[in-house]
Structure 1
Amino acid sequence: MALRIEQFMCRSDNFGVLLHAPESGETALIDAPEERSILEAVERTGWRPTVILTTHHHADHVEANLTLKQRFGLRIVGPAAEAAKIPGIDETVGEGDTLTFGGEPVHVIATPGHTAGHVSYHLPRSKFAFTGDTLFALGCGRLFEAKPPVMYESLKKLAAVPLDTEVYCGHEYTQANARFALTVDPTNSALKERAGDIDKLRAADKPTLPTTIGLELATNPFLRWHDPVIRRNLGMEQASDVEVFAEIRKRKDMF
């Protein structure tokens, strides 16, 4: 039986995610941004969480760890490189590790850049990827704890998973990301169409996620460092891929 997902808003712009395995009864939370919204989702679905899969240590992703652990007795999994900063952590993971959830493998991908130890979780059988604050719809995370080459390598890993993989990330930043993307890739017809669709979704107060790896490769400038049109727009035709990425990230920081 297929895994089920409940996606919901937390705080001002965080996404919460419950991942449920009907046969085993297991339920995973992807991060724990806010207790109230999570408890409402648990009540709505009837899915009692058994584990939190933590992507990184920032407070808006681990705020509810301890209260949820006390309430549900759940297990908290998170990146080994950030274990000291993740409240209540029980199990550490890193690049190449594999967990099991609902009888399916969960591959851990080290995706540092936004933070030094950030990880993402990929379920190849169900075609889900939970990318936290590394890869956003039409964007990527700010580089708080690493340099551009580190984030570039992390995004390359995520770009290599199958094109039809559904991507769930940590924040509803897509509309603002689309506005920026059009400044560096204004003639991309797929991007222009997507930006229009995003505006309609947000006007109706609907989420812009999930996205897919294929859609991001076609429209997300942070994965399109190789594109000759973007390079020409930036005046960087002869630059390396990582230099192009760094320039796009720099421009987004100032946008």
Structure 2
Amino acid sequence: MRHTEQVLVFDADDTLWENNVVFERVIDDYLDWLAHPTLGKTELRAVLDHVERANSAVHGYGTRIFLRSLRECFEKLRERPATEPERREILALADALINHRVELIPGVAETLDELRGRHHLLLLTKGDTEEQQRKIDASGLAGHFESVHIVPEKHAGIYLRLVGQHGWTPTDAWMIGNSPASDIQPARQAGMNAVFIPNDNTWTLEGCELDPADNRVLRLDRFPDLLRHF
């Protein structure tokens, strides 16, 4: 059953376009390049995840912070600073992140085009402002949204402020995204409804358990399935 006019707030990375899959390809090449004498790729990935978790908590998100994590992981494992040639090699490995084109998830543009005719659509994404704006511009989707918001981090206060500044109530709003930790959980803490659309390539650090009994979280398999509910 479709809901009448609602406020639909959309996540961007890995909800509207593929993002983390590019990071995963870079990480796979990076771990091969490290070629540690005693640690396998699983153990190396655990070290990198630890470094990324610490850096994201302090410095935020985006390619610049990711490159910092790659360098720090290297230096932690080698127990010495990276040389200038090694820094250049790490940068070269991440070239796909710096220069990759935005790849929309199938059905996104068509679905948004139909939804904006009957609902209020907003975009809320976190990360480095310049980098996120570049992806938004490259996606060609900005015109589908009444407003676009880039924030350093997503939490319940951000959701409450976003809905409140437009004069809406949380119960009339839905957060739509792929991340349990950044999209679904804080939106529910703010009293909003949520739509969880999983992406197989969601960042490891964005995972958390969702309450299966929460009837205000709608679970969908594909982005175009939104048209059956909204």
Q: State whether TM-score is above 0.5.
A: no
Q: Which TM-score applies when normalising by structure 1?
A: 0.27
Greater relative contact order, per chain length (Cα 8 Å cut-off, separation 6+): 2
Higher relative helix content = 2
Structure 2-normalised TM-score?
Answer: 0.29
Larger Rg over CA atoms: 2
